[in-house]
Amino acid sequence: MPKITPFLWFNDQAEEAMNFYVSIFKDSKILGISRYGDGAPAPKGSVMTATFELDGQVFTALNGGPIYKFSPATSFVVHCETQAEVDYYWEKLSEGGKENQCAWLDDKFGVTWQIVPDILIELLAAPDPVKSGRVMQAMLQMTKIDIEKLKQAYAQ
């Protein structure tokens, strides 16, 4: 087990979320499920925690009830090399969720993701502030990031 593991609090969708995420990310797997027993705050036998791995990162999901909700204050960045990768993760993770500005989306469970092509980070960090400023302005007009439009903004 890694030293740090993201822990996601769901009302009662931990197993469904785990299966959803594992179906999207390559090199992912279910690591285990624990269930509530007698005297627990949930029905006996229902899923308490679901542990899974997405591209080498271990996550634990808890069915803890409706006390806490997800917020964009915590999000997960998916680094992408190509537009095809951006399109794939954007389509899969936004299905049933909400698209937000500048590469951010909330999935159908309310978890916030950022689908970021590596070139965006490179262009924003470029030494020419005028060019990187144009990239920033282009990005601010997008929901899903369009790599070609970023390159065009940089090249102007």
Per-residue pLDDT reduced to its tens digit, 84-133? 999 999 999 999 999 999 999 999 999 999 999 999 999 999 999 999 99
48-94 residue pLDDT tens: 999 999 999 999 999 999 999 999 999 999 999 999 999 999 999 99
Global pTM reads 0.94
pLDDT band at 15 (very low <50, low <70, confident <90, very high): very high
Q: What is the pLDDT of residue 87?
A: 98
User: Which residue, chain included where needed, has tokens 């499920």?
Assistant: 33
pLDDT band at 2 (very low <50, low <70, confident <90, very high): confident
Q: What is the pLDDT of residue 119?
A: 98
- Report the phi/psi class of residue 14: left, alpha or beta, with left for phi > 0 and alpha for psi in -120 to 50: alpha
In angstroms, rounded to a whole number, what is the distance separating the alpha carbons of residues 150 and 50?
39
Structural domains present in the chain? 1-68 (3.30.720.100), 70-156 (3.10.180.10)
Q: What is the pLDDT of residue 49?
A: 98
Rg value, the chain, Cα = 18
Q: What is the pLDDT of residue 114?
A: 98
